[in-house]
Amino acid sequence: MSKEQPDWMTQGLAHLWRPYTQMKTAAPPLAVARTEGSRIYLEDGRVLIDGIASWWTACHGYNHPAIRAAVEVQIETMPHVMFGGLVHRPAADLACRLSAFLPGDLQHVFLSDSGSVAVEVAIKMAVQYWLNQGIRGRTKCLAFKGAYHGDTFAAMAVCDPDEGMHAHFKGVLAEQIIADLPEDDEKLAAFETIVALHADRLAAIIVEPLVQGAGGMIFHEAHVLRRLRAIADKYDLLLIFDEIFTGFGRTGSMFACEEAQVVPDIVTLSKALTGGTMALAATVARRKIFEAFLSDDPVHALMHGPTFMANALACAAANASLDLFAAEPRLAQVAAISRALAQGLEPCRGRKNVRDVRVKGAIGVVELDEMTDLDALKGRFIEKGVFVRPFGRIIYLTPAFTIAETDLACLTEAIVKVVG
C-alpha cells in the first residue's frame, strides 16, 4: 500500500477547481480508483466505508448491476439526443413513472441536469404562472431560515441569506422574503403576518420538506408542511417542495410530500433520481401550472431548455433506479437503517460538546456545540476507514439504503469514537 499521490492527481490538481474548498489550506482530496456498493477504493490501496452515498445520491450503492446494464443498453442505441423538437422513450417512460409516483395532479415533468437548475426552473415556472395570467409584480419567493436550494443565482437567493453558505453574496442576490418555519402556533401567527404583508409580491413559498439538508440537517414535523399548504391556499400562493434531498426514500417514505400528505404545486427532484449514477433533475408541476403555459401566445411558453435536458443515458438510469425501488425492499431497508442509526449514534448523546443526536429515515445526525478543526476531523474519520463529511457543526450519515449492517455499525462506531 502506497500513500504516494499518483501522477495524474498531481498534474490534474494544478488545474482542477475543487468544490466548497479553500484550496490554499485544505488537505488534498483522496484519489479514488473505483467504487462498489458502499465502498470507496482509493488509489493507494485503502478502502473506505462510505457514509454519505456521494451527497445522498447513490441510494442503491455504487455500480448497481441493474443500473449499469440499463445504461449499457442505452449507450448502444442513443447516449443523447437534443430534446428540442425530439422526444425519446426513456424520457417519456420516466415522466409517466414520476407522475404515477407523485401525489395528486403533479403530472407535468420538466427534465434538466442538476438540482440547482431544477430549482431555477421551479422559480421561473412560479413567476411566469402569474405573468401568463396578466398578474404582474408577483416575483418574489418566500423561503426559510436554514434553507439550502443550490448554488446558481436564483437558487442561492432562496437559501438562508445570513447563516447559509452564500451569505457572502448578500446584496448581490435578488432579495427574497425569509421567514422562520411555522413550527408552533406562535411562529405560525408571525409567519402569517409576514405572508399577509407581502402576499401581493409573492409568487411562491419554497421549502425543503421535513429536512433542511445542507443548511444543517434540521428536521421539522409534517404538520408544518400542512400549515404551509393552508397558508398558501389562503393567500393564493404557489407552494414549491424542494425534494432534491428528501425524494426517493431518504426520509423513510418515497417522498416527503407523501409522508406529510400535502400536494405541493411544484416539486423538484434530483440526487437519487438516477441512483447516483448520472446528472439528472426534474421539476414536476400540477395541472393548473402547466395549463397556465398553454396559450396561442408564444410568449407564454416556458423559455427553458438546457442542452443536456432529458439525457437518454440519465433517463435510462433513472428508470432502472425506479425498477429497483419496485423490485427491492428499499423503504424497509431505510426503516432498518433508521433503527440502527438511532441505536448506533445514541452513545454520543450527552457527551461533552454534543448538542443533539437525531435520526430521520436514513439520515443520522450528531450536532456539536462547536466544530473547531474540520479538516482534522475529516482526517480522523479516514484513519478509521470511513468516509464521512462533517460540515458546520454537523457530523452526519446518509448511507446507501443497501449498506450492510456491519458496515453501518463501523460508521456509527467511528462517529462515537471520534466524538468521544
Ligand X SMILES: Cc1ncc(COP(=O)(O)O)c(C=O)c1O
- Residues forming the active site: 20, 148, 242, 271
Euclidean distance between CA atoms 211 and 219, whole angstroms: 4
Q: Which residues pair with 367 in a beta bridge?
A: 356, 394
Please state whether beta strands 211-212 and 354-360 pair in parallel, antiparallel, or not at all (unpaired).
unpaired
CB of 348 to ligand X, least distance (A): 24
Taking the complex as a whole, how short is the minimal distance between the CB of residue 215 and ligand X, in angstroms? Answer: 9
24 or 168: whose CB is closer to ligand X?
Answer: 168
Smallest distance from the beta carbon of 119 to ligand X, in angstroms? 5
Residue nearest to ligand X (CB): 115
Q: Read out DSSP for 105-171?
A: TEEEEEEESSHHHHHHHHHHHHHHHHHTTT--S--EEEEETT----SSHHHHHTS-TTTSTTGGGTT
Of the two residues 202 and 217, which places its CB atom closer to ligand X in the complex?
217
Q: Measured between alpha carbons, how far is 332 from 202 in angstroms, rounded to an integer?
A: 40
Beta bridge partners of 242: 268
Chain Cα centroid distance, residue 70: 24
DSSP letter string over 155-172?
Answer: HHHTS-TTTSTTGGGTTT
Q: Specify burial of residue 156 (Cβ count, 10 A radius: 0-12, 13-18, 19+).
A: buried
Instruction: Compute the least distance from the CB of residue 69 to ligand X, in Å.
Output: 25
Residue 323's SS3 state is: helix
Q: Which sign, positive or negative, has the C-alpha torsion 171, 172, 174, 178?
A: negative
Nearer to ligand X, 161 or 344 (CB): 161
- Across 12-58, the runs of DSSP E, i.e. the strands, are 32-36, 39-42, 47-50
Which amino acid is located at 328 in the chain? E
Pick 293 or 391: Cβ nearer ligand X: 391
Query: Which residues make up the interface to ligand X (CB under 6 A)?
Result: 114-116, 119, 148-150, 208, 213-214, 242, 244-245, 270
Nearer to ligand X, 50 or 208 (CB): 208
Give the shortest CB-217-to-ligand X separation in angstroms: 10
Cα 355 to the chain's mean position, in Å?
A: 25
Q: Are 231 and 191 in contact (CB under 8 A)?
A: yes
Closer to ligand X by CB, 231 or 240: give it. Answer: 240
CB of 212 to ligand X, least distance (A): 8
Give bridge partners of residue 179 from the DSSP assignment: 144
Give me the least distance between CB of 90 and ligand X, in Å please: 20
Of 205 and 419, the one with the shorter C-beta distance to ligand X is 205
Of residues 8, 240, 293, 248, the one with CA closest to residue 132: 293
